[in-house]
């Protein structure tokens, strides 16, 4: 039916990884269809050379920095490529306008994708796919796939796909670790405070694992996480390598492939790790594990399921902040039990 599809995914890393499950479903049913993804610069490594993505357009814009000029140039470029279908996984105004002015004949988007609020952006679509399930109780990857299933009238499911590349950087970083039987990766900081497990809890877990296992530890994250990671390492008492900001996304995936265990909060790295099959323990605070848990049979998900969760409040609005109940009630003992089960296998 469609031979040249543009996919809008101007979203954060975790969501971009999850959207690839929907693209895998398209490729499975229409292997000759060309899929081009429109993404932000920070996530481009997740889709360049990805087996389910044929081409990538990176849209680098900032609202107050000549965004109109960049939009106009992008509209011209997209029109030149003669796409016959655009699929929006983000329901954002900017890409919807770009697709409209680029005159893509079919423009598909969901009635809802991140929340239940109605949006006038759907007026710019030629086809609106009705999403009727409860978002908080459905895997986000399934929501993306539901858009594809309903529009193309398909059945079945698929899993997220991440590029696999040789990484000398992973070799160099792991060479900094002391010799040990196990390599344990940590991601200690979420994108906002209600996702971030306490430094004291992480320190307790690492110290206990050191007593029971011959293990070397390293922390991964974005460049902006580096200072916080140093604070966690200080709380632990040192002896943990800080790799924050030293990897590309594909380097990060290779680190996970070589790790024996990954202990993490809910963040984009969680979904990259899930595609590698690494054994992992994921700690959820204010977000719904029913919606965001890693698609990995080797993953254990821990949550306290507070009555106020899931929530979207700011940290200062949380009645139990700065020690939010949703994170405080996931205890080091729970994380240790899950980690020990993995390491004793």
* Within-domain flag for 160: no
Do 125 and 246 share a structural domain?
no
Do 326 and 205 belong together in one domain?
Answer: yes
Task: In the chain, count H helices and then E strands.
Answer: 12, 12
Task: Please give the DSSP secondary-structure letter assigned to residue 63.
Answer: T
The answer to whether 39 and 119 have CB atoms below 8 angstroms apart is no
61-75, 95-109, 142-156, 248-262: least confidently modelled range = 61-75
So what's the pLDDT on residue 63? 57
Q: 122, 152, 182: which is the final residue of a domain?
A: 152
| CATH code at position 29 | 3.40.50.2000
Residue 261 domain-assigned (yes or no): yes
For residue 266, the model assigns a pLDDT of: 96
Determine, yes or no, domain membership for 157: no
Q: pTM for the whole thing?
A: 0.94
Q: Are residues 329 and 229 in the same domain?
A: yes
Of 209, 196, 198, give the one whose Cα is nearest residue 240. 209
Q: Is the pLDDT assigned to residue 296 strictly greater than 90?
A: yes
Given this model, what pLDDT does residue 64 score? 58
Do 83 and 187 lie in one domain? The reply is: no
What confidence score (pLDDT) does residue 66 get?
57
Residue among 208, 210, 10, 212 at smallest CA distance from 96:
10
**Could you tell me if 177 and 95 lie in one domain?**
no
Give a yes or no: residue 163 inside a domain.
no
180 and 303: one domain? yes
Find, among 47, 92, 61, 43, the residue nearest to 107 by Cα.
Answer: 92
CA distances from 49 to 153, 259, 285 (A): 28, 23, 33
Q: Which pLDDT band holds residue 143 (cuts at 50, 70, 90)?
A: very high
Contact 109, 121 (CB under 8 A): yes
Show which of 152, 187, 205 is a domain's final residue: 152
Same domain, 134 and 283: no
Assess whether 147 and 240 both reside in one domain. no
In a domain, 158, yes or no: no
pLDDT bucket at 186, cuts 50 / 70 / 90: very high
Number of domains in the chain: 2
Q: Is residue 228 part of a domain?
A: yes
Choice between 38 and 60, residue whose per-residue pLDDT is larger = 38
> Is 134 a domain residue?
yes
Q: How do residues 191-233 score in pLDDT, each as one tens digit?
A: 999 999 999 999 999 999 999 999 999 999 999 999 999 999 9
The reply to whether 178 and 148 lie within a common domain is no
- Statement to judge: residues 70 and 13 lie in one domain: yes
Q: Is position 218 within any domain? A: yes
> In the structure, what pLDDT confidence band is assigned to residue 65 with cuts at 50, 70 and 90?
low
Give the residue numbers spanning the domain of 63: 4-152
Is residue 208 located within the same domain as residue 324?
Answer: yes
Convert the pLDDT of each residue in 155-183 to its tens digit: 999 999 999 998 999 999 999 999 999 99
The whole-number pLDDT of residue 62 equals: 67
Query: Is pLDDT of 345 > 70?
Result: no
Q: How many CB atoms lie within 10 A of CB 223?
A: 9
Same domain? For 288 and 227 the reply is yes
Q: Which of 32-36, 116-120, 175-179, 282-286 has the lowest mean pLDDT?
A: 116-120
> Which of 101, 119, 152 is the last residue before a domain boundary?
152
């Amino acid at each position: 039916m469609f031979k040249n599809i543009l996919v809008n995914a101007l979203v954060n890393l975790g969501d971009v990884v999850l959207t690839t499950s929907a693209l895998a479903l398209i490729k499975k049913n229409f292997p000759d269809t060309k899929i081009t993804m429109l993404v932000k610069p920070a996530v481009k490594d997740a889709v360049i050379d990805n087996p389910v993505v044929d081409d990538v357009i990176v849209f680098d814009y900032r609202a107050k920095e000549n965004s109109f000029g960049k939009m106009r140039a992008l509209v011209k470029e997209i029109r030149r490529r003669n796409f016959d279908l655009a699929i929006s996984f983000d329901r954002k105004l900017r890409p919807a306008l770009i697709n409209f002015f680029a005159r893509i004949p079919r423009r598909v988007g969901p009635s809802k994708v991140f929340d239940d609020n109605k949006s006038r952006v759907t007026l710019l679509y030629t086809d609106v796919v009705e999403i009727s399930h409860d978002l908080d109780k459905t895997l986000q990857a399934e929501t993306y796939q539901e858009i594809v299933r309903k529009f193309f009238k398909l059945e079945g499911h698929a899993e997220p796909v991440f590029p696999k590349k040789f990484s000398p950087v992973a070799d160099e970083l792991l060479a900094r670790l002391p010799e040990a039987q196990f390599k344990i990766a940590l991601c200690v900081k979420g994108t906002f405070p209600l996702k971030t497990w306490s430094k004291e809890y992480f320190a307790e877990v690492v110290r206990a694992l050191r007593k029971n296992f011959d293990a070397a530890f390293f922390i991964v994250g974005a460049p902006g996480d580096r200072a916080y990671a140093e604070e966690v390492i200080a709380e632990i008492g040192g002896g943990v390598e800080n790799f924050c900001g030293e990897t590309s996304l594909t380097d990060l995936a290779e680190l996970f492939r070589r790790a024996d265990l990954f202990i993490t909060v809910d963040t984009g790295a969680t979904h990259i790790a899930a595609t590698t099959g690494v054994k992992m323990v994921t700690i959820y605070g204010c977000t719904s594990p029913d919606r965001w848990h890693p698609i990995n049979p080797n993953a254990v998900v821990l949550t306290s399921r507070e009555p106020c969760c899931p929530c979207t409040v700011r940290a200062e609005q949380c009645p139990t902040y700065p020690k939010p109940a949703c994170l405080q009630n996931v205890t080091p003992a729970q994380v240790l039990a899950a980690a020990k089960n993995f390491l004793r296998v």
